[in-house]
Amino acid sequence: MRTTIHVELDTDVSPEVIREALLDFTDRRLDLWSQLDPDTYQVHWVHETSAEVTEGSPRPKVWSRELYDWSHPTKITWTAVESNFCAPGSHIAMDITPLDDGGSHVAVTWDRSPSNLKGRIVTMGAAIGGSRLLTWATRRSLAEIGQKLNAD
């Protein structure tokens, strides 16, 4: 039961700030993205336009080893290599383009296939929440990182 959700939204957070937060693979990442579980966070390697990182959330207790790719100038994609809930190849992509006012237009695609019962529950929850849940979660996360990075 593959679940694909696509949303687009505008935010006052600049593309540079969003990219900085998405591509920060230091321990600071745990402060920027408050929903990440410190117990599962592990950086395996980082190259010029890619990285492999294990990250997850405490509730529900899920993790995924993700291959991040930012070789495209506006798009960052993270693809599951292994996970306790989704199948390899499942991915999330964020395309970030500038707005004239300094903010960003953000297009998010959440495309996950479950690998087990936990994954079916997670993807079913995402499907039920659909675009409203993904829009809300994206807006909230971007507002948080905007406040944190603009305060620095």
Handedness of CA 30, 34, 40, 42 (dihedral sign): negative
Handedness of CA 105, 16, 22, 95 (dihedral sign): positive
The mean predicted confidence, pLDDT, of the chain is: 95
Residue 19, token pair as written in the block: 């990219």
Residue 20, token pair as written in the block: 């900085």
- The β-bridge relationship of strands 3-11 and 104-112 is antiparallel
* CA pair distance 15, 11, nearest whole angstrom: 9
Residue 60, pLDDT score: 86
Residue 152, pLDDT score: 62
pLDDT over 90 percentage in the chain: 88
For residue range 10-44, what is the model confidence (pLDDT) as tens digits?
999 999 999 999 999 999 999 999 889 999 999 99
Residue 66, pLDDT score: 98
pLDDT band for position 145 (cuts 50, 70, 90): very high
pLDDT band for position 59 (cuts 50, 70, 90): confident
Residue 142, pLDDT score: 95
- The pTM of the full predicted model, rounded to 2 decimals, is 0.93
Instruction: List all residues 6 or more positions away from 119 whose beta carbon is below 8 Å from its beta carbon.
Output: 83, 85, 86, 87, 112, 113
Which fold does the domain 3-151 belong to in CATH?
Alpha-D-Glucose-1,6-Bisphosphate; Chain A, domain 4 (3.30.530)
For residue range 87-123, what is the model confidence (pLDDT) as tens digits?
999 999 999 999 999 999 999 999 999 999 999 999 9
Residue 17, token pair as written in the block: 């700030």
* CA pair distance 32, 24, nearest whole angstrom: 9
**Beta-carbon-side half-sphere exposure of residue 85 (alpha carbons within 13 Å):** 24
